[in-house]
């Protein structure tokens, strides 16, 4: 995340928010939670967090009380000291309920933490407020206290640190957990600095909004946001295909761990193979369980039997389904041998709706901008349909067949509307030959002539691409 330089805490209202929306450890619902973080040069950080929660549980009133047993919001920070300072294993936690009771400490683990003194707690200037529909708190974190913990930090423009933000209640009646940056651990705990996300203090007023989002990858990410329209696109830059596959697999794995009975929309083609290989590896290592997962595939060739080694049914079993513990009854693809196109499309569309829609949809990107088999056209097709494949698509796919003549000329595919109803969308792209279409799809005008451009209008899209594929996007 990018931290704006501000003149005072009053300027926080001009800072773009971060969101606490990753549900953890079986949590089904968390009230909308977000926050604002700014940095005052030579002074410290200003933080405000807001939760749209009516009548929050607030029994504790004193500093250092266990406010996490109420309804609470939390902020954790970890800084890199100058040479000779305290090791970076040390991190700080700030936990606040709607009464403004502040629990604040530092240390290298969940236990044996050092609590701040009364004088230090007063310096944080923690205040809380409650309205009819929401509550929140503000917190000032002075550099002076940070350097008491770490030694010299020399915080300023361009400085980097790691952090995470949380919504919690350990009360049995309303128990819930959520984080800003995802946590992949099966053990419920916010005290995991390995899952903090990287933040950077803006260097100058003209700098593009960029950050390092993944605490494991430490790779470039560009963010495109329109908060008025609620649009959000994350673009992860990977060094190569292998790294792209690993990052994409981690995103899917997080979805499976956070919601074990999730519905995954899956793609085929050469690009996702590496992603599926990583998911299989994580399953074999005991980190993933697919037993409750349901899947729906984007498309299938019309006229190919499932026994044909070029059918997408065959592809999915060869690359994923037969290598993990997913229930075959929970895997779904269009029936390519159904001659009645209208019947099969209607049937598949009803199936997707009966599952409650797609939680995470994986997509590749064709050279002409197609997603699934939604080819360039005069309008966006809304629902599952049968499509005539364009010559460019046939040409791209002929490498999988004996000749271009053997490539099917039609396919069943989810429509653009079906894809756009997915709660989250993940796009994977690799190779310099995709650079032009990546730039058009994600930075050009929204047009059915470039089907993937519609993804700019989705509220939660992540593009993971290697450096070659991103080589022509705007700086």
Catalytic residues: 299, 368, 370, 375
Two tokens at 118? Answer: 């009364």
| C-alpha dihedral sign at 183, 188, 193, 199 | positive
Calpha distance 301→152 (Å, rounded): 62
Calpha distance 227→9 (Å, rounded): 21
Q: Is 260 exposed, middle or buried (0-12, 13-18, 19+ CB in 10 A)?
A: middle
| C-alpha dihedral sign at 433, 439, 442, 445 | negative
Terminal CA-CA length for the chain: 18
For Cα atoms 436, 227, 100, give the angle at the middle one, nearest 5 degrees: 140
| C-alpha dihedral sign at 128, 211, 247, 17 | positive
Q: How many CB atoms lie within 10 A of CB 398?
A: 14
DSSP state at residue 277:
H
Two tokens at 79? Answer: 């800084």
| C-alpha dihedral sign at 241, 22, 77, 52 | positive
Calpha distance 26→76 (Å, rounded): 22
Do 349 and 367 touch, CB atoms closer than 8 A? no
Do 334 and 352 touch, CB atoms closer than 8 A? no
């Amino acid at each position: 995340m990018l931290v704006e330089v501000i003149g005072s805490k009053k300027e926080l209202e001009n800072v773009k928010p971060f969101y606490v929306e990753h549900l953890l450890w079986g949590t089904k619902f968390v009230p909308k939670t977000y926050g604002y973080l700014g940095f005052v040069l030579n002074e410290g950080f200003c933080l405000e967090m807001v939760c749209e929660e009516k009548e929050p549980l607030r029994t504790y009133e004193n500093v250092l009380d266990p406010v996490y047993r109420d309804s609470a919001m939390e902020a954790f920070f970890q800084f890199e000291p100058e040479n000779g300072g305290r090791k970076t294993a040390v991190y700080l936690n700030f936990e606040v309920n709607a009464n403004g009771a502040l629990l604040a400490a530092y240390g290298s683990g969940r236990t044996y933490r050092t609590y701040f003194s009364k004088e230090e707690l007063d310096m944080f200037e923690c205040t809380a407020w409650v309205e009819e529909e929401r509550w929140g708190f503000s917190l000032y974190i002075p550099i002076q206290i940070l350097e008491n913990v770490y030694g010299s930090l020399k915080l300023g423009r361009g400085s980097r640190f790691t952090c995470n933000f949380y919504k919690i209640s350990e009360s049995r009646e309303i128990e819930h957990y959520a984080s800003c940056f995802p946590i992949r651990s099966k053990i419920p705990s916010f005290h995991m600095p390995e899952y903090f996300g990287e933040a950077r203090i803006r260097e100058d007023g003209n700098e593009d909004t960029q950050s390092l989002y993944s605490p494991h990858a430490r790779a470039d990410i560009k963010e495109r946001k329109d908060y008025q329209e609620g649009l959000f696109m994350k673009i992860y830059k990977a060094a190569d295909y292998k790294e792209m596959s690993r990052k994409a697999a981690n995103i899917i794995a997080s979805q499976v761990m956070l919601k074990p009975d999730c519905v995954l929309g899956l793609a085929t083609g050469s690009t996702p193979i590496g992603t599926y290989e990583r998911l299989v590896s994580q399953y074999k290592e005991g980190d993933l369980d697919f037993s409750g997962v349901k899947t729906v595939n984007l498309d299938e060739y019309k006229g190919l039997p499932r026994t044909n080694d070029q059918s997408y049914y065959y592809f999915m079993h060869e690359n994923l389904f037969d290598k993990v513990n997913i229930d075959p009854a929970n895997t779904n693809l269009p029936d390519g041998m159904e001659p009645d196109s209208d019947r099969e499309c209607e049937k598949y569309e009803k199936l997707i709706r009966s599952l409650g829609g797609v939680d995470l949809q994986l997509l590749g990107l064709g050279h002409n901008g197609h997603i699934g088999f939604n080819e360039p056209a005069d309008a966006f097709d809304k629902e599952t349909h049968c499509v005539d494949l364009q010559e460019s698509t046939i040409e791209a796919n002929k490498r999988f067949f004996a000749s271009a003549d053997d490539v099917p000329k039609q396919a069943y595919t989810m429509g653009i509307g079906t894809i756009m109803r997915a709660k989250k969308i993940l796009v994977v792209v690799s190779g310099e030959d995709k650079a032009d279409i990546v730039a058009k799809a994600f930075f050009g005008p929204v047009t059915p002539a470039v089907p993937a451009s519609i993804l700019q209008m989705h509220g939660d899209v992540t593009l993971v691409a290697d450096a070659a594929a991103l080589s022509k996007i705007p700086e």
